[in-house]
């Protein structure tokens, strides 16, 4: 099998071209589950991040491969629900993506929802333009497998996270669940690319999706990367019968 082309130029161009239909197809092709997956990610970050948090300390978060900013929107929704009226509680969010078309949509979404202290930066996730130990929580949803060097991507996520902070990776994986596995693989490899091509008018983007999942690192490999770079209690939650997983843990405190 020829090696999948995940060059930054190809991936950036592809996501830029499908940006206008990205949110619609994400939710439609996942049968609405994409929102639940992001909510689970943010809920698990909150569970770990605020266990011993002093309300007077500012919380800074980074979402890598942010796309149209949905993880940031979910984080701020939960934040406002829990801390909006607590004196001294404050937060800022930064979203990074290397597709400027995605970032423009993210900015519009944030303005429409009247969210403040949100910034978007055009950058590559394998070379983040931030100092080490800058953020309290670092997340990435469905972006790690698109990187030419996922290990370098994980290294950067951990590098910019403060000691005691949380790193969370939400990503697809090939499911081997009996009965459901073959049904999902048929949908994922045959039906999804066809629908995606018809709606997005892009011939390759939604064929690339299942190919990139098949080509991705194993679960153990990602967990080992996290542990190697200093994440304690790294674990993986299996979601939707193994279709995807959440890798999460806290950065070791020196």
Strand positions, DSSP E, the chain: 59-64, 91-97, 118-122, 135-141, 161-172, 231-239, 244-251
Cα gap 212→6, rounded to integer Å: 8
What's CA 176's distance to the chain center, in Å? Answer: 23
- 98: which DSSP letter? S
187 vs 73 pLDDT, higher one: 73
- Tell me the pLDDT band of 254, cut-offs 50, 70 and 90: confident
For the segment 16-25, the average pLDDT, to the nearest whole number, is 88
Q: Which 3 state secondary structure label does DSSP give 150?
A: helix
Domain assignments of the chain as residue spans, ordered by start:
8-251
pLDDT at 1 exceeding the cut of 70? no
What pLDDT is stored for residue 2 in this prediction? 58
pLDDT at 209 exceeding the cut of 70? yes
Q: What is the mean pLDDT of the chain?
A: 90
User: Residue 63: beta bridge partners?
Assistant: 95, 139
DSSP 53-86: --TTS-EEEEEET-TTTHHHHHHHHHHHHHHTTS
pLDDT at 174 exceeding the cut of 80? no
* pTM of the predicted structure, to 2 decimals: 0.91
128 vs 21 pLDDT, higher one: 128
CA distances from 160 to 7, 97, 124, 157, 229 (A): 24, 16, 14, 6, 11
Cα gap 136→218, rounded to integer Å: 27
Helices 192-200 and 205-214: crossing angle, nearest 10°? 150
Which superfamily does 8-251 belong to? Vaccinia Virus protein VP39 (3.40.50.150)
Cα gap 127→152, rounded to integer Å: 8
- Tell me the pLDDT band of 97, cut-offs 50, 70 and 90: very high
Strands 91-97 and 59-64: parallel
Helix (H) or strand (E) holding 103: helix 100-112
Contact predicate 92/118, CB 8 Å: yes
Q: What is the pLDDT of residues 43-96, one digit of tens each?
A: 999 999 988 777 678 899 999 999 999 999 999 999 999 887 787 789 999 999
Other CB atoms closer than 10 Å to residue 180's CB: what's the count? 14
218 vs 59 pLDDT, higher one: 59
For the segment 102-118, the average pLDDT, to the nearest whole number, is 97
For the segment 178-197, the average pLDDT, to the nearest whole number, is 79
What pLDDT is stored for residue 130 in this prediction? 98
Contact predicate 90/120, CB 8 Å: no
For the segment 9-37, the average pLDDT, to the nearest whole number, is 89
190 vs 85 pLDDT, higher one: 190
């Amino acid at each position: 099998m020829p090696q999948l082309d995940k060059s930054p130029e190809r991936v950036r161009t592809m996501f830029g071209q499908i940006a206008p239909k990205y949110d619609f197809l994400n939710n439609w092709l996942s049968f609405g589950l994409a929102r639940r997956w992001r909510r689970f990610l943010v809920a698990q970050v909150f569970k770990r991040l605020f266990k011993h948090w002093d309300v007077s300390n500012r919380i800074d978060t980074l979402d890598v491969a942010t796309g149209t900013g949905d993880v940031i929107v979910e984080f701020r929704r939960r934040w406002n629900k829990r801390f909006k009226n607590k004196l001294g509680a404050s937060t800022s969010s930064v979203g990074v993506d290397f597709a400027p078309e995605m970032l423009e949509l993210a900015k519009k979404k944030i303005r429409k929802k009247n969210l403040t202290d949100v910034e978007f930066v055009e950058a590559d996730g394998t070379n983040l333009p931030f100092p080490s130990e800058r953020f309290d929580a670092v997340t990435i949803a469905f972006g790690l497998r698109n990187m030419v060097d996922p290990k370098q991507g994980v290294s950067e996520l951990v590098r910019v996270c403060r000691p005691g902070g949380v790193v969370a990776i939400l990503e697809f994986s090939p499911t081997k669940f009996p009965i459901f596995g073959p049904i999902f693989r048929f949908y994922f490899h045959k039906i999804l690319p066809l629908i995606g091509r018809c709606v997005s008018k892009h011939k390759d983007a939604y064929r690339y999706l299942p190919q990139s999942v098949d080509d991705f690192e194993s679960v153990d490999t990602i967990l080992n990367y996290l542990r190697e770079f200093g994440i304690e209690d790294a674990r993986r939650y299996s979601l939707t019968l193994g279709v995807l997983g959440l890798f999460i843990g806290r950065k070791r405190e020196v």
